[in-house]
Every structure is written in structure tokens, then in C-alpha cells.
Amino acid sequence: MNAETATAEQAAPAIIRSGVRKTSFTIDPISPMIGAEVGRIDLTMPLDDDQYAALRAALLEHKLLVFRDQDITPRQHVDFAHRFGDLEIHPVFPHHPEHPELVLLGGDHTTAARENVYHTDVSWRARPSMGSVLRCVECPTVGGDTLWVNMAAAYARLPQTVRESIDGLVGVHDLLPAFGTRMTDDERTARRAAYPPVMHPVVRTHPETQERILYVNEAFTTHLANFVEKNDVRVGFDFRLAEMDILQYLFRQAAIPEYQVRLKWRPNTIAFWDNRATQHYAIQDYFPARRRMMRATIIGEVPV
């Protein structure tokens, strides 16, 4: 083992083990790095305190929880997500007509969906998401899988020199580059006033596990606010091109397969993930088949 590998392993996030053992459901890891399937649980029933505590601990440990065969109503979907925190109303996606906390995702046979980019949900908010709860309503027979990425592992396994170079950098996150094409000029003006760009640390600290997490994504992070303060600049291209180079390098970390898990959806499959510590990518390989989803998003904390 060389010095760099040893340093990366020492920086690897600690595993968070649940101390709650009064629940009857099972938790089976899906991959070594991220994800677990939860069995013997019925989400049509409200969570009791022990179930809630055990699921929250499992979420912190595995970062993605998968529940199969959960034929829940939209009201039950909202109630389950709300158990973990207040829910947001998304300003762009269409909403369920009776439950505005649920966004409706997916294209149809004429329009392909466009979630196929590595991202963290609503990182353009001053208080981005703590987690998301996504249910498959209608899935293609083949295709339409989703990837999730452990971004704590992505940070921990960066070369030491890179970790040192990005320490203290701040990323700018913006709603409009990803969603602006869905809007009219007047809508873009209104959304810019309501949701100006926000700044978050490139490396954030998880508020519950204290893990260090690489927190930039190619959907919403547009540039670095303080690159020049942290790096030597001789002439203009040292500033702009070097900034873009390091940001592109950090974006590419999400695409490393060793940090990922891939989920094949079935109707009434639910995925619940920790948005603070993950990115995800919805694979668009199924058009013109349909994939319809509903998502509730739990409001999180200001990243530090």
C-alpha cells in the first residue's frame, strides 16, 4: 500500500451502525459501496418510533434504501416522507393535483424525460434537500434504471493533493441552466428573482455523520466563487481554464462505477436516498416507452 492509498483509506467515511434492534424488517446491502433493500415492511402503515429510528440509521449507513412492492397511495407517500422532515414544493416540475408535495416525473411517447445527468436534487436552494422518496408508478419492461453514487466515498478517495487544493472552495449552484429551457422569458425572469444563485462549499460536512462529501454536480453547479483566492493566477486563462478543469474533474468523480449502485425499477418500487451524500442519474435508454414516477423531497439544512 502506497502513502496516497493509505491516506485515502484513513479518510474513508466511518460506517454508521444502527443501535435500534426492535424492528422486524430486514436490511440487505445491494452493493459494497451504497444501497440496501428493506424487506418485510409495509409502508401503507405509519412508522412507529422504533421503525423511524432504524430506517433513519439505515439511511445514514447505506445512503439509499429500496422498498419493493409498496402499493401506497399519494397520501401515504407524502406521510412517509414527511415523517423525516418538512417537504418542499418544487417551483418547476408538475405536481400531483391533490398533493403539491409530490412532483410528477417522466416523459411520454412523444417527449423523452431529461433527468439523465448526474445531480443532487435542488442543490440550487439555500437549504437543499435532506432526502428524496421516489416511487415508480409505471416502468418500461426493459431500461429506465437509475444510478446512485456515494459522494462521501468519492471525496475520501480523491488524491490527497486534490483534497488539499479544493479545501475552502465554494461552488455556485443555479436553477436556470437545467430548467430554464422549460420556461418562457417572463418565467425565467420571475424564477431568477425568486431563486437567485446560491453558494455552497465544494466539500460539505454531513450534519449527522460528520462525513466529508464532494458537493458539486454537473446539473446545477455553474462555477467556483473563490477560485482565484485559493490558486495562483498569472494571466486570464489560469483563472478561467484552470477553474473549469478542476470543476470538470470533480464532476467526473460521480461517474466512477466503484462508487455506484444501479437499480432496476418495478412498479411500486420506492427509493429513499440521502441527497446530502449522494448523486444520481436516471438512465434515458427506454424512449419511446414510458416511465412515470412520483417524488417527495425532504427539506434539509444549509450546507457547511
Give per-residue pLDDT as tens, 52-80.
Answer: 999 999 999 999 999 999 999 999 999 99
Whether residue 180 is contained in a domain is answered as: yes
Residues 222 and 100 in one domain: no
Catalytic entry in 77, 121, 206, 212: 121
213 located within any domain: yes
75 and 159 housed in the same domain = no
Neighbours of 7 (CB within 10 A): 15
Cβ atoms within 10 Å, residue 268:
16
Same domain for 249 and 283, yes or no, is no
Among 151, 146, 204, CA closest to 173 = 204
Q: How many residues does the chain have?
A: 304
228 within domain boundaries: yes
Looking at the fold, whether 288 and 246 belong to one and the same domain comes out as no
Query: By residue range, what is the domain housing residue 48?
Result: 10-150+260-299
Q: Is residue 5 part of a domain?
A: no
How confident is the model at residue 304, as a pLDDT? 98
Instruction: Single out the catalytic residue among 119, 191, 206, 276.
Output: 119
The pLDDT score that the predictor gives to residue 228 is 83
Q: Is residue 1 part of a domain?
A: no
Residue-level pLDDT at 175: 93
* pTM score above 0.85: yes
Same domain, 143 and 282: yes
The answer to whether residue 222 sits within a structural domain is: yes
Query: Residue 62 catalytic?
Result: no
Q: Are residues 198 and 241 in the same domain?
A: yes
Residues 103 and 56 in one domain: yes
Domain membership flag for residue 75: yes
295 part of the active site: yes
User: How distant, in Å, are the alpha carbons of 18, 75, 173, 219, 292 from that of 151?
Assistant: 21, 31, 17, 15, 27
Tell me the torsion sign for CA atoms 116, 170, 63, 104.
negative
Overall number of domains in the chain? 2
Residues 132 and 215 in one domain: no
The per-residue pLDDT for 48 is: 94
Same domain, 268 and 127: yes
Q: Is 95 a catalytic residue?
A: no
> How far apart, in whole angstroms, are the C-alpha atoms of residue 105 and residue 99?
14
- Indicate whether 4 belongs to any domain: no
Q: Residue 195 has what pLDDT?
A: 92
What is residue 102's predicted lDDT score, i.e. its pLDDT?
Answer: 98
- The pLDDT of residue 11 is 41
The pLDDT of residue 23: 64
The answer to whether residues 241 and 277 belong to one domain is no
Q: What is the CATH number of the domain that holds 105?
A: 3.60.130.10
pLDDT at 235: 66
Whole-number pLDDT of residue 183: 83
Same-domain status, 117 and 216:
no
* Residues of the chain scoring pLDDT < 50: 1-22
Q: Do 243 and 185 share a structural domain?
A: yes
C-beta of residue 40 within 8 angstroms of C-beta of residue 28: no
119 is catalytic: yes
